Amino acid sequence: MKKKVAFYTLGCKLNYSETSTIARSFTNSGYESVDFEQWADIYVINTCSVTENADKRFKTIVKKAQKSNPEAFLIAIGCYAQLKPEELAAVDGVDLVLGATEKFKITDYLNDLSKNDHGEVHSCEIQEADFYVGSYSLGDRTRAFLKVQDGCDYKCTYCTIPLARGISRSDTLSNVLDNAKEISAQGIKEIVLTGVNIGDYGKGEFGNKRHEHTFLELVQALDKVEGVERLRISSIEPNLLKDETIRFVSKSNSFVPHFHIPLQSGSNEILKRMRRRYMRELYCDRVASIKKSMPHACIGVDVIVGFPGETEEQFLETYNFLNELEISYLHVFTYSERANTEAAQMQDPVPLKIRQKRSKMLRGLSVKKRRAFYESQLGTIRTVLFERENKEGYIHGFTENYVKVRMPWDPRLCNTLHEVELKEIDEEGLVRFDFVPEEIRV
């Protein structure tokens, strides 16, 4: 009988793309992939270490696996596994910890699946993570996450990602296009481009540090791939989102009007201490440029509250800046000290209760912004891609500009695109709609 393996992913879209690729390597090696809630011989947990909560969740997921099969072989991979391999190896039940480069050769380490008193560690020095492994997700979602870039050369004072993933490096353009074609051939309607710093695409494409291609050239080439209905850009740094790219997306065949642009702070003083590569004025310019070309575009923002030394005045500067910007929603992160980062050594840490209060204020602002954006879309005709999941009797979907809609469950709609007129917002902020008759479709 085939041995069974189950996977759990913590963290970002990039992790999901890599988990899916690693899962396919197991299937190709003769294993049967099952849901994480099921009994399995092997459980693989792809970890994250962006926040303290992600670290804590790892132990919870380990216990969940042990509950399904106390004798299962447990493997930890991902960013946390690279940063703190011995710490993970010491967690009760963990048998194997693989670092940044080893995780892609995971099946080579499975000759002996006997349980150990202490996890075995295979972890490289991060300087050795200088080669690229292409990845994309398939099978469990309506959209696929396509990895185009890995690592980061930026030195933000709060971030551990360069320590966990190494230098900035990119997939070859030809391989990205081949992967996009493979995804399309599976009947998936939407591809989300992902990486650590995707605006830096082209650096390290053939193992050297210069840019062979630009992000704009990547976008232009992907737009020509036949069969891809939708392409979506995930998080991109404001200093790397150029006017040329914005203009191209506004006229694109496939790229949708949705951008997620990290801000982190609306205070220039805090941005300097974070060692970000822009000031708030540039961020404001990027938002204005998008809205000029695509007034209906959705713009998401990452922001960190409680960075060391952040005063009440600087937080309010961020709050007011975001309140006045024409953005659509926020992803709010409460600052947490990460080992081996410059910020963790800074003076004047913000008390935890104040961090939590500021986070709550910005989450409230996000609700307000999202509702205002949804209201601005009422009466417009948009195209919805419906998801595959039945959530409490409803099917959900997203418009091209990331407005979430729902209707009573109908399996015939799964993974299909439909033009709709957005009609009203319900109590959860989701939009009710009417299907547009075929004879009056745009």
pLDDT in the model for residue 142: 82
Strands across the sheet containing 32-34:
32-34, 4-9, 42-47, 73-78, 94-98, 120-122
Q: Distance between CA 93 and CA 118 in Å, rounded?
A: 8
Domain-wise residue ranges, the chain: 4-124, 128-256, 264-376, 381-440
Question: Could you read off the pLDDT tens digit of each residue along the chain, which spans 442 residues?
Answer: 899 999 999 988 999 999 999 999 999 999 999 999 999 999 999 999 876 676 678 999 999 999 999 999 999 999 999 999 999 999 999 999 999 989 999 999 998 888 877 899 998 777 777 788 899 998 666 899 999 999 999 999 999 999 999 999 999 999 999 999 999 999 999 999 999 999 999 999 887 778 889 999 999 999 999 999 999 999 999 999 999 999 999 999 999 999 999 999 999 999 999 999 999 999 999 999 999 999 999 999 999 999 999 999 999 999 999 999 999 999 999 999 998 999 999 999 999 999 999 999 999 999 999 999 999 999 999 999 999 889 999 999 999 999 999 999 999 999 999 999 999 998 888 998 999 986 555 4
CATH number attached to the domain at 128-256: 3.30.750.210
> Nearest 5°: CA angle at 171, between 166 and 176?
145
- For domain 4-124, give the CATH superfamily: Methylthiotransferase, N-terminal domain (3.40.50.12160)
**CATH T-level topology, domain 381-440:** OB fold (Dihydrolipoamide Acetyltransferase, E2P) (2.40.50)
The pair of structure tokens assigned to 175 is 């391989």
Q: Distance between CA 125 and CA 373 in Å, rounded?
A: 45
The reply to whether domains 128-256 and 264-376 share a CATH topology is: yes
Q: Distance between CA 293 and CA 266 in Å, rounded?
A: 24
Judge if pTM exceeds 0.85: yes
pLDDT in the model for residue 442: 47
Q: Which CATH class is domain 264-376?
A: alpha beta
- Contact at 8 Å (CB) between 164 and 129? no
